[in-house]
Structure 1
Amino acid sequence: MNTAFHRAALLALLLHTALPAMAESPAAAAQAAAARGEYREASRLYQDAARQTKGGLAADYSLLAAESLLAAGEPAGVDPLLQKLPPASLDNRQFQRAGLLRARARLQLGDASGALQALPASFDAPLAVEGLAVRAQVQFALGDAVAGTASRVARDPLLSPEAREANWQALWTELGRAPLPEGSVNSGNTLVSGWIELAQLARGGAPLVAVEAWRASHPDHPGVSQLPALLLPDSPAPAPLVGGRDFALLLPLSGPLASAAQAVRAGAEAARQQAGPQAPALSVQDLAPGLEAAQQAAITAGAGLLIGPLRKEDVAALAASPLRLPTLALNYLDAGRSPPTGLTPFGLAPEDEARAAAEDAANAGQLRALIFSQQGDWGERVAQAFRSQLEARGGRVLAEARFAPATVDFSTSLKQLLALDASEQRGKQLANIGIRAEAAARPRGDVDVIFIGARAAQAKLIWPQLRYFRAGRIATYAPAAAADAGPADLGGLRVCDAPWRLDTTGPLADLRGTLATVNPRSPDAQRLFALGYDAYNLARRMQSEGLAPGNAVPGLTGELVIEADAALHRRLSCTTLVAPNPVSDEGGE
């Protein structure tokens, strides 16, 4: 639970115990509603408690009502509620709390100037940590990077070492989004100036010598922790933040991708619910009116970060135009095309699954491969990804073959790929000279691993035929889409898929039980649900800490890492499907 709301709930408990005993006071009912996540109801009950109480206690209940509105994602109701509190009736703590709540609400509504006006000039110790963080957010939203940095720096001495690290990460993310002053900055504080100078170096793609000169001038500066990411080539910087703190999903709510969009939306909303009361709110903007209109609607709704779009063509269009907000796209650009600053592509690329298959095979010492993949763009991409990764690990592909997606009988192509024709020919030659050969031909003996670039409909036909041709004991991999045919048809095949689909024990299995009522039934929809869940959590990380290249983030879709193409990719585990009633290979192995 967010610290601010946790503190508010604790205050509610203390206030409740100060009241005379009763069956259940509105304050107690409000606290129970907040514990269930029913923040709108909690706000109503706290307002009832305020009306039934006098003096400072009534003001505290009103402040808790406003806090609950923020938790409910209803910042517009905060100002009208707090206007009912005469400033003269508030003590210093209550006055500062009211100003802070007004500022947070206005910032969520996209009114950074109004938020700055609402902030108290200073904060007493109990509110200083939160107050300085909000002040920094407001100042950065107004484009004042120097003042925002000064507020973050002033916060440092009040924090534990762990919280200080998080404060530095948040500052670095804010500096990556904000317009920076040109030239040197004389802030009167070497820590502030050092942060600004480092951000200027990062923004300008500074050469190594300039970065080393900064390090020599600031040997004990906390920004030193950012140097490894800064020195990575092509590491993306977040786009300027011009909106609020909430998120907006850009999705097609009608048309052929509507069902996919619904699964993504369900996952993102589930993540929002799991994140707690202070997590950013989530709106959904339909792409039917167009990409530009959806972005504007999101900004109007108070979004500070966009999640989507889902279609590859829309992501390409977004990359070709000036970004309105930092964006976590739910698909990728074409190979070789780098995203602009502020756009982070993320999705369910089957190439990630093919690379994971090659890694898994190489780790097992299986370095001599055959590839059997469907014709077309999808098949070529997974084949290329498997080949490249295996060769990077010192392996090689001995032979490849392609099949048309509508193929039903794969025997001719498989016999050629497995060199069964040569085996049969050798058998005939031996028989002609009176030597009895084994009746059934065997696949070539120099193969360690087979990769099938196929979806479920083809995989459920290819795998039995491979087994019939006595290739079932060769380690065979396929992308996640193949596994949708189910283990009954694919027992023994090895697939690399999202942990959300594979994990049968542990935290993800427990979470899957918790979310059983909203998790879709079909395997493909479950992966899209996991994509939406991860996207919301990644957006939170982008907003609070940033995503540094090379850092791994665990997710439902895999271990997520920004790689050299400035996009997020999944690192996956692989598993062997187990048939409910396994049978021996038809070929007689």
Structure 2
Amino acid sequence: MPTRPSPLAHSVTRLALLATLLTLGGCAQMATSPQDDQRQAAQVEIDQAISAEDPAALARARMALSQTLAGAARAEQELNALETAIDAHELELARALYQQADTQARWDTINSRRAGIARGLGEWSSGNPEQARRTIHRLPLPLDPDSERRRLILLGALEAELGNPLTAARYYDAVDERLDDNARETNHARLWNLLTEVPADQLRREAEQTGNRQFAGWLELALTYRQQPGQIDRWTASHRGHPAIESGLVAMLGATEPMGQLTAPSQTGPVGVLLPEGERYAGITREIRAGIEYARDNGALGGREVLFYDSGSDRIGASAAIEQAQRAGVALIIGPLLKEQLGALAALPPGGPLAIALNSAPAGDSLPGGVVSFSLSPEQDAVAVAQRMWTDGHRRAAIFSADHQLGERTREAFANEFELLGGEVVDRARFASGQTDFSGELRTLLRVRTKSDDGPFQPIIRDDLDAIFLAASGDELALVVPQLDYFGAEELPRYGLGLAYNGNRDPRGDADKNGVIIPIAPLLLAGTAGPENPLRITYERAQLAGPLPRLFAFGADAAALAGRMEMLLQGGTLDGLTGELSVTPTGVVERQPRWGQFRQGLIQPVDPAPGAALPGSLTSPARLPGTTPPAGQDANDPSQPTSMP
């Protein structure tokens, strides 16, 4: 199969011509101005970016060069900068560069279709992805090959941001043949990650309905891996020549040692920690840092030096911190923390320091290869709740969730897992943010009726429910539970999210959460335990760090992961303060939590149901086969963490 020319290569000739013109201009006038010096510096950066095959650096250098030009040349160079970033799928950078551009009025005279794509990018950078999608959809077709490639890339990313993973995957499939081989590998990972977000029944319906055989193959692969992993060879035999085979994705799915892209850090060298130190994140950083320092002082890092760097609050700040850490010769990087900064880790060279990102990739995107992702994920909690509910013997569930983004994400994560396990989500209802009276919603969800029209209110609820999942915050939960009891559901088992408990004893504030079972970090259970609890001293140390001991535990476990990474990459597990930790072949840290239940205002430990076990069927494609799962956890336990700021 011939290698396709990359978008970066397409522009080298045009750049070389521009460089020649600039050089000739300099020969005619020996004296140089500050602007000439800036132009020369920008040209050097362009040459270096091309030599290093670094499209992000090339895009920034082109924008810098444009600032030294005027008129049509300036406009053309600004367009080039945006297009270079789009071609590399550096879309956050593309949006940032758009904000620096000032020649938009000239773009239509250069090329109206290129201008239309840039206009859509600008609308996205202004926080209006829906308008950006409409603008790009309305471009007159056909487009030249380069513009069509950028149109598809942007539409895929926009659909992913708007919460339409299946539609986004279609666009990434459509753009695939327009990419060079290296970009296709990344595109396949992005496409695959999107398909893991799509419910199995939706995958099946789309596979049956689509007329695109290649895309149908992707859908069937996702279904096969999710439900019949042993049949991947059969899928391969019937899809000869499919892009997923050519790029090696299918081989990775079936590999016996799928962790090859992750390498253990060297045994020497300091640990660099990247955290934002600005006022907005000061409290979060203080508690995470305290946890890391506590773990270091207790030998988790084997005596390695720990160096802290301010990562700022954007990608530029993270990039600068990574460069500082590399100059210091770090063997491990912990961080960055913010989602928008994770792309900066792509600059780490092969064989460079191993990075443990303190977050997960944004929806529809993926972390750079060789990076481990560790986060406190409400979605991961929701999946654990579905598994716990199943092992407790419940097969028919209702969902009552907050009508905001967190409620939506956790509701879907729970429903997908519970249904894949074989359970049935019988009904679901939402409540609005800030709502305090849930009478209407609960009456409908529980199908409340009364024993008699006369006399006191004696509610009777529907009889087709085994349990209810409450996707709500702690404050919301304290309002919902008493009303559940009032409407006759006091005997209905109820489950919630870990974020329903902040980790501090509060008998008055937690009294109205009675009976709710939640996944919980082992450290937090020590808060209501006696002094004999082995984590009690650590819990008290966490309380000294601040009001959120869960973040202290998060920092301590990040350091523990760094110190035991070699063992974890071989399939081992780690008993952490946030739960039992393991690393999937794709670099995601999975947490197996402990369990607690609110009783009379205090969180108390809950043991697993006797003889409980998950079914042997697959639950999600998020974990690749070939690793040993933590004790008591299914080998295919899904994990899609997306928490933290």
TM bracket (short chain): 0.5 to 0.7
Change (3 A) 1:242 1:338: same
Deviations 1:327-370 (A, max 9, x none): 00111113454433220000100112212211111111111101
Counterparts of 1:346-365 in structure 2, within 5 Å, are 346-365=374-393
Task: Pick from 290, 293, 296 the counterpart of residue 317 of structure 2.
Answer: 290
Give 1:540 deviation, angstroms. 1.1
Measure, in 2, the Cα distance between the counterparts of 1:293 and 1:508: 46
Task: Pick from 317, 327, 333 the counterpart of residue 306 of structure 1.
Answer: 333
Give 1:508 deviation, angstroms. 9.8
The aligned counterpart of 2:242 is none
Counterpart AA for 1:568: V
Q: Does 1:406 align with 2:434?
A: yes
Q: Does 1:490 align with 2:513?
A: yes
Measure, in 1, the Cα distance between the counterparts of 2:536 and 2:254: 37
Measure, in 1, the Cα distance between the counterparts of 2:546 and 2:488: 32
Change (3 A) 1:581 1:348: closer
The count of corresponding residues between Structure 1 and Structure 2 is 345
Counterparts of 1:117-136 in structure 2, within 5 Å, are none
Measure, in 1, the Cα distance between the counterparts of 2:326 and 2:558: 19
Asked if 1 retains the 8 angstrom alpha-carbon contact of 2:523 and 2:539, the reply is: no
Identity %: 34
Deviations 1:252-280 (A, max 9, x none): 01132221111110000000000179421
Counterpart AA for 1:295: I
Measure, in 1, the Cα distance between the counterparts of 2:387 and 2:300: 37
Asked if 1 retains the 8 angstrom alpha-carbon contact of 2:495 and 2:518, the reply is: yes
Counterpart AA for 2:438: F
Counterpart AA for 1:537: A
Change (3 A) 1:277 1:322: closer
Measure, in 2, the Cα distance between the counterparts of 1:263 and 1:413: 38
Measure, in 1, the Cα distance between the counterparts of 2:343 and 2:260: 17
- Secondary structure in 1 aligned to 2:399? strand
Measure, in 2, the Cα distance between the counterparts of 1:381 and 1:343: 24
- Secondary structure in 1 aligned to 2:569? coil
The aligned counterpart of 2:570 is 548
Task: Pick from 463, 466, 471 the counterpart of residue 481 of structure 2.
Answer: 463
Q: Does 1:417 align with 2:445?
A: yes
Measure, in 2, the Cα distance between the counterparts of 1:548 and 1:337: 26
Measure, in 2, the Cα distance between the counterparts of 1:538 and 1:448: 38
Measure, in 2, the Cα distance between the counterparts of 1:580 and 1:380: 27
Task: Pick from 275, 278, 283 the counterpart of residue 251 of structure 1.
Answer: 275
Give 1:318 deviation, angstroms. 3.1
Counterparts of 1:235-384 in structure 2, within 5 Å, are 235=259, 237-238=261-262, 245-275=269-299, 278-288=302-312, 290-319=317-346, 325-335=353-363, 337-384=365-412
Change (3 A) 1:396 1:548: farther
Answer with 1 or 2: which has the greater Rg.
1
Asked if 2 retains the 8 angstrom alpha-carbon contact of 1:356 and 1:496, the reply is: yes
Counterpart AA for 2:345: L
The aligned counterpart of 2:522 is 499
Task: Pick from 414, 421, 437 the counterpart of residue 393 of structure 1.
Answer: 421
- Secondary structure in 1 aligned to 2:298? helix
Asked if 2 retains the 8 angstrom alpha-carbon contact of 1:338 and 1:565, the reply is: no
Counterpart AA for 2:483: Q
- Secondary structure in 1 aligned to 2:333? strand
Change (3 A) 1:388 1:527: same
Change (3 A) 1:365 1:437: farther
Measure, in 2, the Cα distance between the counterparts of 1:508 and 1:381: 38
Asked if 1 retains the 8 angstrom alpha-carbon contact of 2:574 and 2:580, the reply is: yes
The aligned counterpart of 1:570 is 591
Asked if 1 retains the 8 angstrom alpha-carbon contact of 2:286 and 2:545, the reply is: no
Change (3 A) 1:302 1:492: same
Asked if 2 retains the 8 angstrom alpha-carbon contact of 1:483 and 1:490, the reply is: no
Asked if 1 retains the 8 angstrom alpha-carbon contact of 2:332 and 2:353, the reply is: yes
The aligned counterpart of 2:600 is 579
Deviations 1:32-79 (A, max 9, x none): xxxxxxxxxxxxxxxxxxxxxxxxxxxxxxxxxxxxxxxxxxxxxxxx
The aligned counterpart of 1:449 is 467
Counterpart AA for 1:407: Q
Measure, in 1, the Cα distance between the counterparts of 2:383 and 2:550: 18
Change (3 A) 1:581 1:573: closer
Counterpart AA for 1:547: L
The aligned counterpart of 1:560 is 581
Q: C-alpha root-mean-square deviation of aligned residues, in Å?
A: 3.4
Measure, in 1, the Cα distance between the counterparts of 2:550 and 2:542: 13
Give 1:419 deviation, angstroms. 1.1
Structure-2-length-normalised TM-score: 0.49
Change (3 A) 1:243 1:295: farther
- Secondary structure in 2 aligned to 1:334? coil
Measure, in 2, the Cα distance between the counterparts of 1:490 and 1:520: 26
Deviations 1:442-467 (A, max 9, x none): 12111111111111121110111111
Counterpart AA for 1:529: F
Change (3 A) 1:440 1:232: farther
Give 1:244 deviation, angstroms. 5.5
Give 1:517 deviation, angstroms. 3.7
The aligned counterpart of 2:493 is 475
Measure, in 2, the Cα distance between the counterparts of 1:561 and 1:508: 28
Asked if 2 retains the 8 angstrom alpha-carbon contact of 1:246 and 1:302, the reply is: yes
Measure, in 2, the Cα distance between the counterparts of 1:353 and 1:240: 28
Asked if 1 retains the 8 angstrom alpha-carbon contact of 2:268 and 2:304, the reply is: no
Measure, in 2, the Cα distance between the counterparts of 1:572 and 1:522: 22
Counterpart AA for 2:394: Q
The aligned counterpart of 2:625 is none
Change (3 A) 1:574 1:318: same
Counterpart AA for 1:577: F
Give 1:439 deviation, angstroms. 4.1
Asked if 1 retains the 8 angstrom alpha-carbon contact of 2:512 and 2:601, the reply is: no
Measure, in 1, the Cα distance between the counterparts of 2:475 and 2:463: 28
Structure-1-length-normalised TM-score: 0.53
Deviations 1:196-224 (A, max 9, x none): xxxxxxxxxxxx99xxxxxxxxxxxxxxx
Asked if 2 retains the 8 angstrom alpha-carbon contact of 1:499 and 1:508, the reply is: no
Measure, in 1, the Cα distance between the counterparts of 2:282 and 2:260: 31
Change (3 A) 1:322 1:369: farther
Deviations 1:483-511 (A, max 9, x none): 23753221211111111112466999424
- Secondary structure in 2 aligned to 1:560? strand
Asked if 1 retains the 8 angstrom alpha-carbon contact of 2:581 and 2:591, the reply is: yes
Give 1:528 deviation, angstroms. 0.8
- Secondary structure in 2 aligned to 1:248? strand
Give unmatched runs, 5+ long, in structure 1: 1-207, 210-227, 583-589
Measure, in 1, the Cα distance between the counterparts of 2:278 and 2:382: 31
Give 1:325 deviation, angstroms. 2.6
Give 1:302 deviation, angstroms. 3.3
Change (3 A) 1:580 1:277: closer
Give 1:565 deviation, angstroms. 4.6
Measure, in 2, the Cα distance between the counterparts of 1:271 and 1:507: 21
The aligned counterpart of 1:14 is none
Asked if 1 retains the 8 angstrom alpha-carbon contact of 2:259 and 2:569, the reply is: no
Measure, in 1, the Cα distance between the counterparts of 2:459 and 2:347: 55
